[in-house]
Chains A and B, each alone.
Chain A
């Protein structure tokens, strides 16, 4: 009997949960739904990541930037007092938003961040950072991956966000607060991301595995415990724009991929579209059958600004991100794809933590297969 590809994937994923070493389970497709995808940040236990502390909060940078545009000390202090007063803070929004200056005239600091002088945000200075040596070179400013020890890691996005309080991961295991907030808001609305892994014949070592990353028609769901629900069925969107296939190798249980370009549809509330260049991945399936790994690659830096810049004051003031400063930091840290005219880099290296849970992935357009019911007993090695 033939079966749906996704069916096989899911069965295999479940079999993996039960007993990965059973030879009968080999060679099947494993399906997953992504449960977390965000910037990979290393909270250095030795505090080397942000030796000068995190960046200032809005009371401080508003003081500096408003003073810089000529506001009197008294007006600045009144502004800060009003800003901190729940009954008056709304009145302060236009002042902060229009603190930019172009030819001496007020300008929107979020739409035109260059209308505010670069406040020179504090950047990550530590030696450790997750990711990959994307260009094969080892430079003095590159990171070393704390898990693999790989040197020459390019992850300039981490360098920018890693000392911003609301974007920073504060321990090795927690989530960065603002990214978590965004993720929780959009997660059950945004079509899911799906990962399928083919060719795992041996539990630890396989020369050739294929990783496919696609987008689902359905959004993920959370279970009663607040976590992403496992073993749900998802239909893979056949749109080739969001169909990424890459060859990989599994060694000692770790899958590492060849270099590839990865394109995925995000969400208007988050990043609209992801287009990674020269990307690499490493993935590992844990004993519970869950997938964890990293995606590294170069990506246009402006969308990372605009994710927050488009929301303006709400992010600038309430999430402690000096948006013009964030803009300059991204622009300055960008390390790839120089503009032929200006020479300015248009892309920034980045690393993303990806976690996924077992799921059934089906391919509605795939007429090579047809449905047949799973054998629950066989799925458990009975």
Chain B
């Protein structure tokens, strides 16, 4: 067994404690930078072809056609890679069954767009005859809508094909709007819509390097900040070449950062970072936790996202304080779990039933780790799991990878919650850790999670378990504490907490893991800038967006990329 210490291997550190390995990038271990990164030497990563996530699809449809368009159907499941769905989105395709689903959704949306309530405002022109093709009017529609859906102007060939398709369909169905509806259905199933295409061009400012073209910049920026497609102003700026100038681009970034739509972008990022998609597969034993329901799960996520949004965007607060803040928001259903009243006419109560709430000093709860979303998501259906909670904290908040358990683990001791010999989880885990293969990793996770044992599998407070008082002491990386509040403070002060956000937010923005040179830059430059800004989130987003690195890409690979594009186009035909 290795002794405690850090071993460095080519830029990747293996933090080894008592034989357990937590794989971490150097910036996440709190190491100091050796020297500032040379930005001009950062090559950037490959362009990424990302499939729209479910929320992005919904946002784009709402932005283009209005909030009253209902989207029915089942989305292709997103996959998580490197801790983010947004990174996984660059590694997925659309199978035949998925195309069927996208087809159904496209038809449903098109029908609504062309119903009598919507079509006049949507189409924007009147056909010469309602029963015959009108290429001018059809062309106007596909150009305007296509620009928003494809996030760039349509090529002449694309427009011509779509107009011809609309004319042919009009002749078949005998109705102009019916024909245009079929054309819109086609556009909504097109890979140009379903995937976020990035096109690289030579970077004139940095000879020998590549960057994204203006429309790809607009999309990357817009999905990063707003989690939706570029709006008309951003596309217009791209058309005018403003995004290729520092001043013009910065003007757009600053416009987007003050937009109310920034909240949607921030919420999307944190929902991704916090693995909230896991709620889709989360269940609790109703005989043990009858308060858990789909509604509670929804409110739990909403509470954390409102807390984050309010703290980071409205108050412009320090990111680290998310782990210690007593300010949050409360719904009636959550009040039943937190055991607090939620009067509907309390000061600050909102029409949607939510209201601001502050846990008073002395209350055992503070910070987002003690909210239902974290506590419930990382627990078993019928019992808590300090191990799952500790693992989740390491992986989602500190960006550290905890190795998977070996396949032959005997879980009997930890699963038997009624064993009188081991009344508390702490006792059961201590017994479990006597197995040599388990000891190492559990020491990395359990002392973190055990400090949250005062909260059961859905986050309800409990003072004891099976008649025994709960010992909520814990430890992380040498910092000891005696309560969940202490854990929150330790995470607040842990150097990996802020480094993780920087690293992961950048990965989210570019849709892939940072390259080695980007990682160095994130640690040396962006991390320092984040600290200089008082760990405020909006300035961090701005630093990423306006950095020279954000759009830098490596030279296109003539072998692989066209092949993937061709296969997608083929699949859509």
CB within 8 Å of B: which residues of A?
A: 4, 6-7, 10, 14, 18, 217, 223-227, 229-233, 235, 360, 362, 364, 370-380, 382
Rounded to whole angstroms, the CA-CA distance of A314 and B47 in the bound complex is 70
Rounded to whole angstroms, the CA-CA distance of A377 and B363 in the bound complex is 5
Rounded to whole angstroms, the CA-CA distance of A7 and B289 in the bound complex is 24
Contact call A231/B335, Cβ cutoff below 8 A: yes
Query: Which 6 A/B pairs are nearest by Cβ-Cβ distance?
Result: A225-B290, A360-B341, A223-B290, A224-B286, A362-B343, A231-B336
Contact call B463/A232, Cβ cutoff below 8 A: no
Residues from chain A with Cβ under 8 Å of B357 in the complex = 373
Contact call B364/A376, Cβ cutoff below 8 A: yes
Beyond contacts A224-B289, A229-B336, A377-B362: 17 other A-B pairs, Cβ-Cβ < 8 A, are: A6-B341, A7-B340, A7-B341, A224-B284, A231-B291, A232-B333, A233-B344, A360-B343, A364-B345, A371-B343, A371-B346, A373-B363, A374-B340, A376-B340, A376-B461, A380-B461, A382-B362
Residue of B nearest to A222 (CB): B290
Most A CB atoms within 10 A — which of B284, B332, B341, B461? B341
Separation in Å of the B33 CB from the closest CB of chain A?
Answer: 42
Contact call B332/A232, Cβ cutoff below 8 A: yes
Rounded to whole angstroms, the CA-CA distance of A235 and B344 in the bound complex is 8
B286, B292, B341: which contacts A374 (Cβ < 8 A)? B341
Contact call B343/A223, Cβ cutoff below 8 A: no
Contact call A224/B364, Cβ cutoff below 8 A: no
Separation in Å of the A363 CB from the closest CB of chain B?
Answer: 9
Residues from chain B with Cβ under 8 Å of A370 in the complex = 347
Q: Contacts A232-B332, A380-B463 known; A224 to B339 CB distance under 8 Å?
A: no
Separation in Å of the A162 CB from the closest CB of chain B?
Answer: 32
Contact call B292/A375, Cβ cutoff below 8 A: no
Contact call B363/A376, Cβ cutoff below 8 A: yes
Q: Contacts A225-B290, A227-B290 known; A10 to B341 CB distance under 8 Å?
A: yes
Residues from chain A with Cβ under 8 Å of B345 in the complex = 235, 364
Q: B82-113 interface mask toward A, CB cutoff 8 Å, 1 = contact, 0 = none?
A: 00000000000000000000000000000000
Most B CB atoms within 10 A — which of A217, A235, A370, A375? A375
Rounded to whole angstroms, the CA-CA distance of A315 and B229 in the bound complex is 60
Residues from chain A with Cβ under 8 Å of B332 in the complex = 232-233
Q: Contacts A224-B293, A360-B335 known; A4 to B341 CB distance under 8 Å?
A: yes
Residue of B nearest to A7 (CB): B341
Check if B365 is an interface residue, CB within 8 A of chain A.
Answer: yes
Within 8 A of A (CB), among B367-424: none
Q: Contacts A375-B362, A375-B363 known; A229 to B341 CB distance under 8 Å?
A: no
Query: What would 17 A/B residue contacts be, using CB atoms closer than 8 Å?
Result: A223-B290, A224-B290, A224-B291, A225-B290, A230-B336, A233-B343, A233-B344, A235-B343, A364-B344, A372-B360, A373-B340, A373-B363, A374-B363, A375-B362, A378-B362, A380-B461, A382-B362
Contact call A373/B360, Cβ cutoff below 8 A: yes
Q: Contacts A230-B336, A232-B335, A371-B347 known; A376 to B291 CB distance under 8 Å?
A: no
CB within 8 Å of A: which residues of B?
A: 284, 286-287, 289-293, 332-333, 335-347, 357-360, 362-365, 461, 463
Q: Contacts A231-B336, A371-B346 known; A376 to B290 CB distance under 8 Å?
A: no
Residues from chain B with Cβ under 8 Å of A229 in the complex = 290-291, 336
A7, A18, A374: which contacts B463 (Cβ < 8 A)? A18
A230, A233, A378: which contacts B341 (Cβ < 8 A)? A233
Contact call B290/A373, Cβ cutoff below 8 A: no
Contact call A375/B360, Cβ cutoff below 8 A: yes
Separation in Å of the B154 CB from the closest CB of chain A?
Answer: 50
Contact call A376/B286, Cβ cutoff below 8 A: no
Residues from chain B with Cβ under 8 Å of A14 in the complex = 339
Residues from chain B with Cβ under 8 Å of A362 in the complex = 341, 343-344
Q: Contacts A235-B345, A371-B347 known; A225 to B336 CB distance under 8 Å?
A: no
Rounded to whole angstroms, the CA-CA distance of A378 and B284 in the bound complex is 28
Separation in Å of the A235 CB from the closest CB of chain B?
Answer: 6
Residues from chain A with Cβ under 8 Å of B346 in the complex = 371
B339, B344, B463: which contacts A382 (Cβ < 8 A)? B463
Residues from chain A with Cβ under 8 Å of B336 in the complex = 229-233
Contact call A373/B287, Cβ cutoff below 8 A: no
Rounded to whole angstroms, the CA-CA distance of A226 and B291 in the bound complex is 10
Separation in Å of the B511 CB from the closest CB of chain A?
Answer: 38
Residues from chain A with Cβ under 8 Å of B333 in the complex = 232
Rounded to whole angstroms, the CA-CA distance of A377 and B335 in the bound complex is 15
Residue of B nearest to A217 (CB): B344
Residue of B nearest to A19 (CB): B463
Most A CB atoms within 10 A — which of B284, B339, B345, B463? B339
Separation in Å of the A203 CB from the closest CB of chain B?
Answer: 19
Residues from chain A with Cβ under 8 Å of B359 in the complex = 373, 376
Residues from chain A with Cβ under 8 Å of B344 in the complex = 217, 233, 235, 362, 364
Separation in Å of the B436 CB from the closest CB of chain A?
Answer: 38
Rounded to whole angstroms, the CA-CA distance of A371 and B362 in the bound complex is 18
Residues from chain B with Cβ under 8 Å of A217 in the complex = 344
Residues from chain B with Cβ under 8 Å of A378 in the complex = 362-363
Q: Contacts A7-B341, A235-B345, A360-B341 known; A223 to B363 CB distance under 8 Å?
A: no
Rounded to whole angstroms, the CA-CA distance of A217 and B359 in the bound complex is 27
Residues from chain A with Cβ under 8 Å of B342 in the complex = 233, 360
Q: Contacts A6-B341, A233-B332, A360-B341 known; A377 to B290 CB distance under 8 Å?
A: no
Contact call B362/A231, Cβ cutoff below 8 A: no
Residues from chain B with Cβ under 8 Å of A371 in the complex = 341, 343, 346-347
Residues from chain A with Cβ under 8 Å of B364 in the complex = 376-377, 382
Residues from chain B with Cβ under 8 Å of A380 in the complex = 461, 463
Separation in Å of the B400 CB from the closest CB of chain A?
Answer: 31
Contact call A373/B358, Cβ cutoff below 8 A: yes
Rounded to whole angstroms, the CA-CA distance of A10 and B336 in the bound complex is 10
Rounded to whole angstroms, the CA-CA distance of A223 and B332 in the bound complex is 13
Separation in Å of the B193 CB from the closest CB of chain A?
Answer: 39
Rounded to whole angstroms, the CA-CA distance of A10 and B293 in the bound complex is 22
Separation in Å of the B108 CB from the closest CB of chain A?
Answer: 31
Residues from chain A with Cβ under 8 Å of B289 in the complex = 224
Residue of A nearest to B283 (CB): A224
Residues from chain B with Cβ under 8 Å of A364 in the complex = 343-345
Rounded to whole angstroms, the CA-CA distance of A230 and B337 in the bound complex is 9
Most B CB atoms within 10 A — which of A4, A231, A370? A231
Q: Contacts A224-B286, A364-B344, A373-B359 known; A379 to B339 CB distance under 8 Å?
A: yes
Rounded to whole angstroms, the CA-CA distance of A229 and B362 in the bound complex is 27
Most B CB atoms within 10 A — which of A7, A224, A364? A224
Rounded to whole angstroms, the CA-CA distance of A225 and B289 in the bound complex is 8
Separation in Å of the B407 CB from the closest CB of chain A?
Answer: 33
Contact call A374/B339, Cβ cutoff below 8 A: yes
Rounded to whole angstroms, the CA-CA distance of A376 and B334 in the bound complex is 14
Rounded to whole angstroms, the CA-CA distance of A232 and B344 in the bound complex is 12
Rounded to whole angstroms, the CA-CA distance of A233 and B343 in the bound complex is 6
Separation in Å of the B294 CB from the closest CB of chain A?
Answer: 9
A7, A230, A376: which contacts B338 (Cβ < 8 A)? A376
Rounded to whole angstroms, the CA-CA distance of A372 and B293 in the bound complex is 27
